[in-house]
Amino acid sequence: MSTKRIMAARTGQGKLVVIEGDIPPLSPGMVLVEVHNSVISPGTELNSWCGLYEELQNPKPLPKPIPFGYGNAGIVRSLGEDVTRFKVGDRVVCIGAGYALHADYAVVPHNLCTKLPDGVSFLQGSYGMLAATALHTLRRGEPEFGENVLIVGLGIVGQLTAQLYQLAGSFAMGWDYIDNRVEIAGKWGIHGAVCLDDADHQEATKAFTHGSGFDAAIMAFGGEGTDTFKSVLKVLKRSPDGHTMGRIVINGNLTFTYSGLNNVDVRRAARTGPGYHDSNWEVGSPYPPVFMRWTTTTNLDLCMRLLEEGKLDVDALTTHRIPLHDVEAGITQIIEEPNNILGVVLDIKH
């Protein structure tokens, strides 16, 4: 097998290119995967830390193109020492920034991989990172059956979070500024969604809860969000003496300035669950399940089961498919209409 791989990479000028590089050595605890599909998230990879939209306006050429990506799916081709969870030929989903790249081969810590069920395609499995992020957000929110929850930001993670809340017995409403995302949420069956440009969105939101206010809200977007945060506080439930109450979970790189939260519990949801970014855990032994039932790996496992059983819908979120070798032209074309982008899937193998 070749020791080289091809990868999508950023230039710092709002473009992606295909480059060739070495396949990393297969150290203990690592898995070599031949990738079939990967997903580019429009939130984090096109408009935030990767920032292709921003780079188009303010180009900052990099010394050399930088590979990127954090979610893909493919077939195990080789195993590092001490890896017993997989065998060569297994279909797997892989996650992890710097590991699960947009590349034809990836070397990934074994605890950042899980088996892909027979009924789940590589395309569907490549959403694993984003699905597990949504699932960890749900866990941080501690929903109770029958609650009303508001999802602010209907990007991929926001849409998947709404789906999971509905599975957990909540009534979910979504907010977004982009009409297309509201329409996509309607296609998979969100209980309610409104565009924030609509003048009556506050009244529509209150009507959704029958005047009782939301028990919880998820802030599923990044950037400066003070005004939106204030709007959310207006539709949370309120005590008879006027105190705002409820839970707000933030799973994006959101900043806001606000005081007087009263009895509102604000929480952060970090990535995909315990274990992610713990380098010893990623390549080593799992945490004892009797003490830590839900980790990044077990969250991934559950997401794949939900996909297999048709309880999570990622197909409705896929708006574009691009062959890896055409990524430069493909991305250049689609980012001209950013409001039409949601899930961008790269086809690595034909």
Shared-domain flag, residues 214 and 292: no
Residue 91 structural domain? 4-127+274-347
In 3D, which of 42, 49, 226 has the Cα closest to residue 152?
226
pLDDT at 337: 82
Q: Would you say residue 89 has pLDDT above 70? A: yes
Shared-domain flag, residues 260 and 286: no
Which of 234, 268, 302 is the last residue before a domain boundary? 268
pLDDT tens for each residue of 141-163: 999 999 999 999 999 999 999 99
Provide the 10 A C-beta neighbour count for residue 97.
17
pLDDT tens for each residue of 183-242: 999 999 999 999 988 768 888 888 999 999 999 999 999 889 999 999 999 999 999 998
Q: Give the CATH number of the domain where residue 103 resides.
A: 3.90.180.10
List CB contacts of 28: < 8 A, sequence separation 6 or more. 80, 81, 82, 83, 283
Domain count across the chain: 2
pLDDT at 49: 42
Shared-domain flag, residues 53 and 73: yes
Shared-domain flag, residues 316 and 298: yes
Burial class (CB in 10 A: 0-12, 13-18, 19+), 67: middle
Lowest-confidence pick of 33-42, 111-120, 214-223, 253-262? 253-262
Shared-domain flag, residues 42 and 119: yes
Cβ–Cβ under 8 Å, residues 61 and 68: no
Shared-domain flag, residues 123 and 160: no
Which of 268, 301, 317 is the last residue before a domain boundary? 268
Shared-domain flag, residues 146 and 258: yes
Report the distance separating Cα 165 and Cα 220, nearest Å.
13
Total residues belonging to the chain: 350
Average pLDDT, whole number, for the chain? 92
Shared-domain flag, residues 149 and 233: yes
Which of 268, 303, 337 is the last residue before a domain boundary? 268
- What pTM was computed for the model? 0.95
Q: Give the CATH number of the domain where residue 252 resides.
A: 3.40.50.720
Shared-domain flag, residues 219 and 291: no
Lowest-confidence pick of 102-111, 159-168, 256-265, 305-314? 256-265
Is beta strand 30-40 parallel, antiparallel or unpaired with respect to 71-79? antiparallel
Shared-domain flag, residues 158 and 236: yes
pLDDT tens for each residue of 13-57: 878 999 999 999 999 999 999 999 999 987 777 764 456 766 767
pLDDT at 253: 85
Shared-domain flag, residues 140 and 227: yes
Of all residues in the chain, what percent carry a pLDDT higher than 70?
Answer: 96
Shared-domain flag, residues 295 and 231: no
